[in-house]
Amino acid sequence: MVDGHGGDHAVAVARAHGVETLFTLSGAHVFPMYDGAVKADPPMRLLDVRHEQTAVFAAEATAKLTRTPGLAVLTAGPGVTNGVSAVTSAWFNGSPLLVVGGRAPAFRWGTGSLQELDHPPLLAPVTKRAVTVETVDAVADEVDDALRLATAPHRGPVFLDVPMDQFFSRADVQLPEAPVRERHAPDPDDLSRVGALLAGAERPVLVIGSDVWADGAEHAALRLAETARIPVITNGMGRGVLPAGHPLLVTRARSEAFGRADLVVVVGTPLDFRLGYGTFGGKDEAPAAAVVHLADSPGQLARHVELAASAAGDLSMVLDGVLKAWEGTGSSTAYDGWTTRLQDTARAAVDKDRGLLDSDADPIHPVRIYGELNRRLADDAVVIGDGGDFVSFAGKYIEPKAPGGWLDPGPYGCLGTGLGYAMAARLARPSSQVVLLLGDGAAGFSLMDVDTLVRHNLPVVMVVGNNAGWGLEKHPMRFLYGYDVIADLAPQTRYDEVVRALGGDGELVTTPDGIGPALDRAFASGVPYCVNVATDPELAYPRNTTGV
């Protein structure tokens, strides 16, 4: 039993679900949550930020990295609406998250009290559930249900708001039972079909996506890839499941792999623009590839492509089941020629780019930054990307050495994740390197939250790819119209000085040889440190997809 106000109940239940940190920005409507956190035994950590989007991005990144739900608490009205883009990112990413909003008091509803807004209709399209908790004695059960729903595959955000008068009221309530993780077994016939397709394939490719990591299936994925010796391409949080340098990882031969495959098995990620909408094969008149989709839940299976087979359920069970079915066909791998061909292509791509990673071009080529960074990253580093072209280059040239070491914004592509993701990474991995890669444009969305890093003593190495503009808009606009407009930012803006002014440290780098020593100083500094690198504004990331 807990005898207390709504905040006491909510904090106790959240803790039972593994929540350790409450991300927020102060607002009276949600004071009971703070009081509940302060008076809990032991207290729950309060992490107060400078913009509500940062609170939600931080809660989301906590969920992504720790695979326990994130918690953000937003005050009524503008607090909640400021969090909407970040909630939407969590929705697109399938990140388990509880957002608790304040709400104008029920007894005054309709009379025009401060920040009186009915939030659930705004949040409903981008959450698994968005409801108002009507009375204080329902808070504990509603928070428990919300966290169960958020963490059940396919995961995602849930929103609750609590009218202020109820939130501050007291009740003596029974806390719900501790949650137990449920695993849903896939249909064995589905697994047999996938096993048979694999056994019959000559040129298969396995695509490992974010939900493999989210569902704790990284070992099963590695087992399947290594036992059947299938070439692999990873994306999102699936990056690192096959660590950098793994012989089966052929991401650098992606176009050849997808273009010439006869079977593509996609696990734990939607068949969206990042995967050519699920159409593979066809390179140099190769026939279309058969496509298999494996997902954490039936609702995630693609309906816009014809699938040769599919399976849904706990992804470890799915992947181990596929392996067993493949073994049951009596197959031993027959793909080695295909794999060697992809490995050769990948190696040639790497060799071709070696010059870029060492480039001494002046102005600086952005890829030189990744050449320097790669030499300095430890196996357990967390690298975060927030930006356009600068982050696309990072995706190509930084290959994680372990899963859970790469954070990008995901398919919603929302700029501004940077500082929220970085503070969550520092909290989740206290002894790892945390490197935040920021476009100079992206930096503007969240740089004020360096103040939060400073106040909470959270050292992070920030690297700004300062190309004096919105590169990923500037170059496409030039391509389409022959000119560009509103795509420039001031050259060599001193983002490093902004970080210094907020209590961190930093420096501007204008020569290629200056990058390495600056990174060394940043890693050694023990404070939030900004390496602000002036890069060539004329360089565009060579891209062949637009995402549309």
Residues forming the site for Mg ion (CB under 5 A): 439-441, 467, 471
What is the pattern of x (binds ligand TPP, CB under 6 A) and - over residues 376-415? -----------xxxx----------------------xxx
| 442 touches, from Mg ion, ligand TPP, none (C-beta below 5 to 8 Å by class) | ligand TPP
CB of 121 to ligand TPP, least distance (A): 23
3-state SS class at 245:
coil
List of residues 6+ apart from 17 with CB closer than 8 A: 68, 69, 144, 147, 151, 179
Contact flag: residue 363 with ligand TPP (CB under 6 A): no
| 508 touches, from Mg ion, ligand TPP, none (C-beta below 5 to 8 Å by class) | none
The whole-angstrom separation of Cα 240 and Cα 522 is 24
Taking CB under 6 A as the criterion, the residue among 83, 439, 459, 506 binding ligand TPP is 439
CB of 476 to Mg ion, least distance (A): 13
| 472 touches, from ligand TPP, Mg ion, none (C-beta below 5 to 8 Å by class) | ligand TPP
Nearer to Mg ion, 47 or 443 (CB): 443
The whole-angstrom separation of Cα 448 and Cα 22 is 19
List of residues 6+ apart from 508 with CB closer than 8 A: 492, 494, 496, 532, 533, 534
CB of 472 to Mg ion, least distance (A): 8
Contact flag: residue 433 with ligand TPP (CB under 6 A): no
Phi, psi for residue 96 in degrees, rounded to 5: -75, 120
Nearer to ligand TPP, 101 or 387 (CB): 387
3-state SS class at 368:
helix
Contact flag: residue 204 with ligand TPP (CB under 6 A): no
Question: Quick check: 241 and 222 in contact, CB under 8 A?
Answer: yes
| 476 touches, from ligand TPP, Mg ion, none (C-beta below 5 to 8 Å by class) | none
DSSP state of 164: H
Strands (E), 198-357: 204-208, 232-234, 263-267, 290-295, 309-312
CB of 540 to ligand TPP, least distance (A): 9
Phi, psi for residue 102 in degrees, rounded to 5: -75, 170
Residue ranges of alpha helices (H) inside 169-217 are 188-200, 210-214
What's the maximum distance between 2 C-alpha atoms anywhere in the chain? Answer: 73
User: Which one-letter amino acid corresponds to residue 353?
Assistant: D
Contact flag: residue 90 with ligand TPP (CB under 6 A): no
CA atoms within 13 A on the CB side of 251: 24
Nearer to Mg ion, 464 or 527 (CB): 464
Contact flag: residue 417 with ligand TPP (CB under 6 A): no
| 168 touches, from Mg ion, ligand TPP, none (C-beta below 5 to 8 Å by class) | none
CB of 77 to ligand TPP, least distance (A): 21
| 512 touches, from ligand TPP, Mg ion, none (C-beta below 5 to 8 Å by class) | none
Nearer to ligand TPP, 259 or 476 (CB): 476
Contact flag: residue 504 with ligand TPP (CB under 6 A): no
CB of 438 to ligand TPP, least distance (A): 7
Contact flag: residue 441 with ligand TPP (CB under 6 A): yes
Nearest to 56, CA basis, from 29, 9, 21, 28: 21
Taking CB under 6 A as the criterion, the residue among 467, 493, 496, 534 binding ligand TPP is 467
| Strand arrangement, sheet containing 505-509 | 406-407, 382-386, 434-439, 461-466, 529-534, 505-509
| 414 touches, from Mg ion, ligand TPP, none (C-beta below 5 to 8 Å by class) | ligand TPP
Q: Which stretch binds ligand TPP (CB under 6 A): 62-70, 159-167, 282-290, 439-447?
A: 439-447
CB of 461 to ligand TPP, least distance (A): 17
Calculated CA dihedral for residues 155, 157, 161, 167, nearest 10 degrees: 60
DSSP state of 187: P
Q: How many residues bind ligand TPP (CB under 6 A)?
A: 19
Nearest to 317, CA basis, from 396, 419, 212: 212
Task: List residues binding ligand TPP (CB under 6 A).
Answer: 387-390, 413-416, 439-442, 465, 467, 469-473
